[in-house]
Structure 1
Amino acid sequence: MFCKSLLKSGLLACKQESPSGLKCTASAFSPVCEGRYRTASTAVRDKLKTIDDLDGPSFLTSLYWFFGKGYFKVAHQMQIEHSKLYGPLWKSTYGPLVVINVASADMIEQVLRQEGRYPVRTDMPHWRRYRDLRQQAYGPLTEMGAEWLRIRSILNPRMLKPKHVSSYTNAINEVVTDFVKKLALLRATKGNGVLVHDVAGELYKFAFEGISSVLFETRLGCLNEVVPEETQKFIFSVGEMFRLSPIVVLFPKSVWPYMPFWKHFVSVWDHLFKVADDLVRKKMAQIDEDVKRGEPVDGEYLTHLLISKQMSLTEVLGSITELLLAGVDTTSNTISWALYHLAREPEIQERLHKEVVSVCPGEKVPSSEDLSKMPWLKAIIKETLRLYPVVPGNARVTAESEIVVGGYVFPKNTLFHLCHYAVSYDETIFPEPHTFLPQRWLREHKHPDHHPFGSVPFGFGIRACLGRRVAELEMYLILTLRHWLLTAFTVYHHELWPNAEVSAKFTDLSI
């Protein structure tokens, strides 16, 4: 989330996590018992190396890499270069901050297998400071410890259980349909019949509308021909919050109130909470009306949170706002890259089209059951996420005890940076790592050395990305329904580059 820009500067990451239930890889230095790592015995610990034995760049060296060698904007590439210089485990120093970088699938697994009951990524001090200032509740991204676990246990079922997630299919299908209509309109009115400007920007609006339709059970109008002013301001506030977050966090807490950008940072958060509060109270009023009329209360995610009364209204507001923020970039960025490769490699796109049509012939709208019959579609998304992880790294703090990783013992409160980007390009796990090969994810084509922690775009364990299944559902449906409506049209060429204003050309299939 807020670490998106910090990730770019190579410091931290905190937006991902993923599937559990994977077999544990034992290490000669990491005894395993019933799938859980135990603290090494005193005799074994005496033979282990310590953090002082690790090599790595000094603070000045890191600054030189960032600004002298130009890696500040492509710090994910620096993961690969540093792993070549220092090996799969090294330390980086940023002033008083020491970060342990892990660029090996085996060692990443070792860290995550030892993360404890209450995994910690970072304390997100600037987000927490705002909540303290305005007496807002912490949510799943800002809360920690036992309270975090309590909140997650309430939020999880309706976001992660397939039977509940499948109930969001109709709402997301409606958003996808409107998105395709919006592209058709832009193509017809502003693109000479073929060109759609700023496709990445339109995908961002799609993702915003999609997650809002699930969380708030309402449409915000992001895909209208003219976006409502209040919605436009809401979208702008989200962007400003992400822009300002990495700036704020670079300064000591004590000086925040005196910095010129702090007031603006607080004001955009105020607007985000105001809009969220309005939507939550609107849903509460609707529920009250239904109850008064003796009608069944209809709704999914927000409705469930409100009527279950497992959380206070303030907690619902804090959690729903953070979930909204977490659900935009994941979807829009991944779809942008998927479309980029489908456009460049028409044979992959044609195979996807045939798969979709075989499962959903004619004008059949894809359902969640239909998606389970589309392995090529899912392989395309997995390969896209491998090449372009939502965030290139992930942070973990050993908050509960010391742990052993790769023959080194690390004390409590060690900060780890898990270099997912570097591991995703490890040719021993993924042959031809720079080539877009969805077939590598099909069972019959899997490489014998495939490692379950080679690509974990949504993380691992109990701190796995809460919005994973909803994000996947959005991505699957936009690619399938896009082809269904796009007997419509298909991409034949474009220059799509996420996070930039780019254009895409479309042509009718009948031509």
Structure 2
Amino acid sequence: EGALNNGLCKLMLVHRFPGQPRLCSSQSLEVRSSPRAAAGNKGEGRGAELLEPPPRRLGRVKSLHEMPGPNTLYNLYEFFWKDGFGRIHEIQQKHTQEYGKIFKSHFGPQFVVSIADRDMVAQVLRAEGRAPQRANMESWQEYRDLRGRATGLISAEGEQWLKMRSVLRQKILKPKDVAVYSEGVNEVITDLIKRIHTLRSQEEDGETVTNVNNLFFKYSMEGVATILYECRLGCLENNIPQQTVEYIEALELMFSMFKTTMYAGAIPKWLRPLIPKPWREFCRSWDGLFKFSKI
């Protein structure tokens, strides 16, 4: 299920107590009445009430200490020695089979609770309110403090995030406003089709297109730039401008963001002089993105 790929997001565990408002539309999370009780509801008078079973009691809520999950040494070996961040979906599936739909993990100083059930994830998200506390972004915030940059929509939290999100929703998230961008996006789609024909003509069989992921990555960049920057980057041209090439490289590094961020955040500051590469790459990718945004 796609929920398994939601992966390592820090989530607040929610338990539904009696009288609490319903948090999820899924019936799989609700305590269902037995057929016997249902029949009793259709019965007559007091006899039906006697047939109704007593209400189900909720068990004790387990603490985080009791929650199952892989030990810290195993995680360090799996993710850092065997490059587990590159196959996180496989590890998540394995852990779900071993520990269940809710389990905990440690990644250096980072403590993470994973939820591998779409209904449970929906329940948590609906319980967060208007200004949610999302995944830990300490490394993102540290970079901005280091470079003196303001917090953006992706790394903002709480009321600050809500304020930015409200502004964005007015401009780009309403369905009726999306049509404004259709002409520019259609031009990008036309260029993508032309690029595919060009790449096919360059192959021996005249049909195969290799490295499709890279092609659609550039297409996505071009489409987003058309909307956000109101300009074309040239990602789908035969000769891509050098500034755009540098931007693509920075984005490719940052879009392996999960891996880059986890490596940078999992290594304590005092270890960075001994293991400098993760934090250096993390900062370099962000530097490239901000550099391009100023052009």
Aligned residue in 1 for 2:267: 251
| Distance apart, 1:275 and its partner CA | 1.7
Aligned residue in 2 for 1:266: 283
| Distance apart, 1:159 and its partner CA | 2.2
Paired residues for 1:339-488 under 5 Å? none
Query: Residue 32 in 1 paired to residue 14 in 2?
Result: no
Q: Secondary structure at the match of 1:100?
A: strand
> Which residue, out of 232, 241, 246, partners 2:245?
232
| Distance apart, 1:45 and its partner CA | 9.1
Aligned residue in 1 for 2:218: 205
Cα distance in 2 for residues equivalent to 1:238 and 1:69: 24
In the superposition, the TM-score normalised over structure 2's length comes to 0.72
Cα distance in 2 for residues equivalent to 1:265 and 1:74: 19
> Which residue, out of 149, 152, 164, partners 1:139?
152
Cα distance in 1 for residues equivalent to 2:149 and 2:84: 37
Contact 2:79 2:85 in 1 (8 A): yes
CA-atom RMSD in angstroms:
3.4
Query: Residue 80 in 1 paired to residue 68 in 2?
Result: no
Contact 1:92 1:98 in 2 (8 A): yes
Cα separation, partners in 2 of 1:144 and 1:253, compared to 1, 3 Å: farther
Contact 1:158 1:165 in 2 (8 A): no
Greater relative contact order (Cα < 8 A, sep 6+): 1
Cα separation, partners in 2 of 1:70 and 1:232, compared to 1, 3 Å: closer
Cα distance in 1 for residues equivalent to 2:225 and 2:64: 44
Q: Which amino acid aligns with 1:127?
A: W
Q: Secondary structure at the match of 1:196?
A: coil
Cα shift readout 1:342-373 (whole Å, capped 9, x = no counterpart): xxxxxxxxxxxxxxxxxxxxxxxxxxxxxxxx
Cα distance in 1 for residues equivalent to 2:89 and 2:262: 16
Aligned residue in 1 for 2:112: 99
Aligned residue in 2 for 1:293: none
- The percentage of aligned residue pairs carrying the same residue is 37
Aligned residue in 2 for 1:214: 227
Cα separation, partners in 2 of 1:176 and 1:13, compared to 1, 3 Å: farther
Aligned residue in 2 for 1:169: 182
Larger Rg: 2
Aligned residue in 1 for 2:209: 196
Cα separation, partners in 2 of 1:70 and 1:185, compared to 1, 3 Å: closer
Stretches of 4+ moved more than 6 A in 1?
67-70
Cα distance in 2 for residues equivalent to 1:27 and 1:265: 37
Decide which structure has greater strand share: 1
Q: Secondary structure at the match of 1:57?
A: coil
- Unpaired stretches in structure 1, ≥5 consecutive residues: 1-6, 15-25, 37-43, 279-511
Contact 1:54 1:91 in 2 (8 A): yes
Cα distance in 1 for residues equivalent to 2:275 and 2:240: 33
| Distance apart, 1:257 and its partner CA | 7.3
Q: Secondary structure at the match of 1:195?
A: coil
Aligned residue in 1 for 2:135: 122
Aligned residue in 1 for 2:37: none
